[in-house]
Structure 1
């Protein structure tokens, strides 16, 4: 039996699901790693700096494996593309520092809400900025999510700024990346390089002024070094899986990470009163409507390589036909 080139072989499809699950599991449990770094004295800004610095060697390895140095050089010489990548790097840095600060200060539930909102915000932004047609389920999902945010504000006593900053910074990042042609590995390396410059300066400043925790103990050093692979590996897995996975599958998997973070926040004792539960109820209802609409769309276009991205991330699938939302 022949296999269509647009349909991955059974083994490849299974491996794509495994890769997708692993990357979302890593994104889901990443708060525990950041909390361990904080337990060893590292501040959010220090964690961010090491995440940027040690992400570079891993990103270089990916480019070397893909043999894409010619694309990297071409991108570095293109002033317009570099300008956009610098801007996208700034937005992902905002996303990262907000996320790290929140999970290390007992606000994991707010980060969970942010990543539940992200795909819905992307959909709304597409309709507003790119005149994309918003489907019936899409409109219902956006309204339900809006109600959920308002109720969350009532529960907290203020707007859920952490959630909104995470969702909007990530959505803006995705919009910027849609405007440039840099492929997955190239864009990842360039963005890591851009962020590593201030990151390295911060690390050196901390070490020379007695503010660094990097060499305090073998455990602290290991955790901060781990920040690099922890950033790049799930992004690489996502980029590979996204090219081989239909929207109907990825649409479900992308909510695995915020669900895990929600459970982590709850188990760690973050307050979850009745009003807040109702708020998440509206968000989950919006997510359900969104996923059902996505599944119906994918069934009408069974071979379309359309996927939705995750966390807090830097990479986009190498398949130029894919539409993506990136995670943390």
Structure 2
């Protein structure tokens, strides 16, 4: 692997930590929007409407307008993008509903499970080999899910829905030859129409909150950058940082979300604590496996560029 300058390494680490920190603290943003009166669907509508502007600006900056136009002219590519758009819309909406209805711990669990589910999906769909350490990680996570179901009295459907939709989203995007930033713009573009229509509809009914107060307006405007900026930081960092380092960093976001849920007084009994213990153990084993795998392999990285396609592949392993 080519060695990046020390300053470049530090910048990549800062960018990686920043993107996962934003994803970790994002429940507080959605909860602020909720306190301003916006429900999950209004939040999602503004998120897609404003994000398409930010994502479009990013496409212009990295000069990928040609790739976007090529994708728009391909029914096959747009069919896959439409599917990935549906999956990410379900994922985003579920997440907002969860964190705004006292289910933040469930959201945290979902994103702890995501990299382990990615590992299983890779073995099933792409015949990627899972090491014994990886199998142990998956088994520990499975035990954690079972204990979580027992503690809750039902399957942790919010966690499972978040993990499976994001995993399936990654699988779809892995099959589509569209860069991370272009794909994000196309997904936001498909969602922006329904989102804007919903914003206008609730405004016509006197139920919209945009413009009703300074706080509500600013929070809803923030939905665009909080969607796009961490994706930019992630892609830039992943392109320049060892995969093993990203493997550790990816657990920062659900850990912050977990702390938020506990600090807000969500139920966290002994059995649920044990279930999270199994999940954390699986995450640690997963990270150890990633480090060992990296040490055994020799990776030759091309010259770094702004948000190049290899970051897209790494996003499959890094989760949200």
TM-score normalised by length of structure 2: 0.95
Distance in 2 separating the partners of 1:50 and 1:27: 18
Distance in 2 separating the partners of 1:59 and 1:321: 15
Match of 2:277 in 1: 281
Alpha-carbon offset, residue 178 of structure 1:
0.8
Match of 1:117 in 2: 113
1:226 to 222, 225, 235: 222
Distance in 2 separating the partners of 1:157 and 1:216: 41
Match of 1:310 in 2: none
CA RMSD of aligned residues (A): 1.4
Match of 1:35 in 2: 31
Alpha-carbon offset, residue 321 of structure 1:
8.3
Match of 2:87 in 1: 91
Distance in 2 separating the partners of 1:304 and 1:107: 42
Asked if the contact 2:179/2:312 (under 8 Å) is kept, the reply is no
Alpha-carbon offset, residue 322 of structure 1:
3.9
2:213 to 212, 217, 235: 217
Residue correspondence of structure 1 range 1-328 to structure 2 within 5 A? 6-303=2-299, 318-319=309-310, 322-325=313-316, 327-328=319-320
Structure-2 change in CA distance of 1:321 and 1:272 (3 Å): closer
Asked if the contact 1:59/1:189 (under 8 Å) is kept, the reply is yes
Alpha-carbon offset, residue 210 of structure 1:
1.5
Distance in 1 separating the partners of 2:49 and 2:81: 17
The higher relative CO (CA closer than 8 Å, separation ≥ 6) is in 2
Asked if the contact 1:48/1:97 (under 8 Å) is kept, the reply is yes
What runs of 5+ residues in structure 2 fail to find an aligned partner? 302-306
Distance in 2 separating the partners of 1:172 and 1:241: 23
Distance in 2 separating the partners of 1:279 and 1:103: 20
Alpha-carbon offset, residue 132 of structure 1:
1.5
Asked if the contact 2:115/2:319 (under 8 Å) is kept, the reply is no
Alpha-carbon offset, residue 9 of structure 1:
2.0
Cα deviation code 1:166-186 (max 9, x no counterpart):
000000000000111001221
Cα deviation code 1:143-188 (max 9, x no counterpart):
1100000000000111000000000000000000011100122111
Distance in 2 separating the partners of 1:323 and 1:265: 28
Q: Per residue, is there more helix in 1 or in 2?
A: 2
Distance in 1 separating the partners of 2:216 and 2:266: 26
Of 318-327 and 47-56, the range deviating more from structure 2? 318-327
TM-score normalised by length of structure 1: 0.93
Of 144-153 and 205-214, the range deviating more from structure 2? 205-214
Cα deviation code 1:205-228 (max 9, x no counterpart):
111111211121111011000000
Deviating 4+ runs (over 6 angstroms):
none
Cα deviation code 1:19-59 (max 9, x no counterpart):
00000000000000000000000000000110000001111
Secondary structure class of the residue paired with 1:243: helix
Equivalent pairs counted in the alignment come to 314
